[in-house]
Amino acid sequence: MPSDPQGHYQGPGPHPADVIQLDTPDLATPAYIHLPPRWASQTAKAGGSVAQLVICIAPLPGHSTATTGRCMYAKPGGYNMSLRLLVDVSYQVTVRTADTGRQLQSFKLKGDASDSESCPNLAPPEGEQIPRIVSAGILVAKLKPLLDGTAS
């Protein structure tokens, strides 16, 4: 059971969190990274809990245009394949309290997920490059002290 069903970041963990991706300063979408159930605020809804932390992931400008992998998609009819290229991207990760917006931590991570993890289910437009994403394991390891620790 989360430490505080009112969404205040205090006391012992686990502290449920929501992960969002900031595609642009004005556009936030649910992130591609899913936290383990003990930290995901969605699983806490049955107990009436809400997120205590918000984890924002934003791609940093100036990413590489060098191809580091590829995604293959079936064309309509399934007989031909369509290729999209993966490129390296670094991300700014910022963790804030959900109730006050107080920043707790900020750091950079390089996209390190495998090709299959980074490839979206639906093919982006022809010629569009796909950013390599951060693996959930790396992000969770970095955030574990905040998600499981005792907040003051």
Write the pLDDT tens digit of every residue in 19-75: 888 876 666 666 677 788 777 775 445 555 578 899 999 888 876 667 788 998 887
Per DSSP (E only), the strands in the chain are: 17-24, 27-30, 53-59, 67-74, 81-87, 90-97, 103-110, 130-131
pLDDT in tens, 63-118: 666 778 899 888 777 677 888 889 988 999 999 998 888 999 999 999 899 998 88
CB atoms within 10 A of CB 65: 9
Q: Do 35 and 44 meet the contact criterion of CB atoms below 8 Å apart? A: no
